[in-house]
Amino acid sequence: MVEKEQKPKAVIVGGSIAGISCAHTLIKAGWEVQVLDKSPSPPTGCSTGAGLILDPLSQKLLQSWISRPELLLQSTLPITTEQNRAIVGEIKDGRILTNDENFNYRAAHWADLHSLLYKELPSHIFLWGHRFLSLSISDDKTSVKIKAKVTKTDEVVEIVGDLLVAADGCLSSIRETFLPNLKLRYSGYYCWRGVFDFSKKENREIVMKMKKGYPEIGKCLYMDLALGTHILLFEIPNNKINWVWFVNEAEPHFKARSMTMKVNDDMVKRLHKRADDVWVPELAKVIKETKDPFINVIYDCDPLEQIVWDNVVLVGEAAHPTTPHCARSTNMTLSDASILGECLRNRRLFNLKSALAEYQSLRLPILHAQVQHSRLVGRIKQGLTLPNCEPFDPNIVTTTRNLQELQIRNIPFHGDV
């Protein structure tokens, strides 16, 4: 009788989109998977109200992971155009700088995408309410043991696997274990974020007026650039408009380990006043009528030279903290999961060490190029100092180089795993 081969086990720390995407691809590759997350339960919504856009490659990957691919289309909206506009002078007339009518992205709400992926996975693989404490790699490098605290009981548990996948985000504790001196770089600006709900009748009237200034809203990713600032907006499912406004300011000081910042009434009042000063009245009205806007502080870091240590691998924002200007964070994360799964698919042909070495060699050149390009685009759009040229002024366009770099499709390796 032939003994059934035991599946290798992967422990994934982080139950956000990076973690559950890796759970999908590793299960398909024949691995047993355990996912740990410090949250007490699966998210039923997104406290930050984040909208995101999925490139064509990410759409294909997601549809290959779920049993009913049509659900992705039902839970997202097509974004067929990307438009960069200069907001010119006191009349704030939007002058088109670039117009990509073959964009082919889809807009999603973070919570909807997470739910779609989560519901396809067996519930028993998740350990919610488990906060990562530490890791240790066996002397023979064949296993990794993590310690985690059960938040409800304060009990410390140990979990052993063949592979540890660090999907614990931009402030990764696992990355810090190997790179204790790595510091995130403040970009020079933060962003205000919000989601405007126009499902109510009175809010629908606001959107009807807004369509005068944004006639393609509903299928267009708008990027409006004023001097030293820019804002993006696009529609997401269920009658909502996602907007993100980038503001050049000194780095805020945090009391907690977080990338988001609580705001008070005075801060919101200043936001509303500045919206009137900078943006067209229709957009300013949307900003002022958005409930619970919040601040997201923008960090990245110089691209990592290593994302694998023995049988520990970094994915998602743990591997590539990046600025959001080229819509890379989620799209890079989904590609991470796909490539990791492919590298681990056939363990008989590739041992774990060589599979992880292959993953690292495939991902690093792309991550390096995209993190650096996104940083450059952010500096262009915010009118910050640029190498070998004057800061970008959207009202005085003198080179086609800057215009090309404004477009998402011109990021290196766009659409290429």
DSSP string, 49-75: --EEEE-HHHHHHHHHHSS-THHHHHT
C-alpha 149 chain-centroid distance: 27
- Assess whether 191 and 149 both reside in one domain: no
Boundary residue ending a domain (283, 300, 317)? 300
Q: Which two tokens stand for residue 254?
A: 């945090």
Assess whether pLDDT exceeds 60 at residue 49: no
Q: Is residue 413 part of a domain?
A: no
Q: Determine whether 176 is exposed, middle or buried from the number of CB atoms within 10 Å of its CB (0-12, 13-18, 19+).
A: middle
- Assess whether 311 and 358 both reside in one domain: yes
Rounded CA separation 311/314 (Å): 10
- Assess whether 154 and 261 both reside in one domain: no
Q: Is residue 396 part of a domain?
A: no
What mean pLDDT do residues 318-342 have?
96
- Assess whether 329 and 371 both reside in one domain: yes
- pLDDT class for 2, splitting at 50, 70, 90? very low
Per the model's pLDDT, the better-predicted residue between 122 and 45 turns out to be 122
Lowest mean pLDDT among 140-154, 165-179, 256-270, 351-365: 256-270
Confidence (pLDDT) at 1: 45
Confidence (pLDDT) at 45: 59
- Assess whether 233 and 359 both reside in one domain: no
- Assess whether 328 and 379 both reside in one domain: yes
Q: Is residue 315 part of a domain?
A: yes
Assess whether pLDDT exceeds 90 at residue 403: no
Q: Is residue 86 part of a domain?
A: yes
Confidence (pLDDT) at 47: 46
- Assess whether 335 and 236 both reside in one domain: no
Number of Cβ within 10 Å of residue 227's Cβ equals 17
Confidence (pLDDT) at 253: 81
CATH number for position 21: 3.50.50.60
Identify the domain containing residue 45 by its residue range.
9-52+113-183+302-387
Output the pTM of the full model.
0.94
- Assess whether 155 and 258 both reside in one domain: no
- Assess whether 138 and 285 both reside in one domain: no
- Assess whether 283 and 201 both reside in one domain: yes
Q: Is residue 416 part of a domain?
A: no
At 364-373, the pLDDT tens digits run: 999 999 999 9
Boundary residue ending a domain (251, 270, 300)? 300
- Assess whether 284 and 162 both reside in one domain: no
- Assess whether 158 and 277 both reside in one domain: no
Domain count, the chain: 2
- pLDDT class for 202, splitting at 50, 70, 90? confident
Rounded CA separation 371/181 (Å): 20
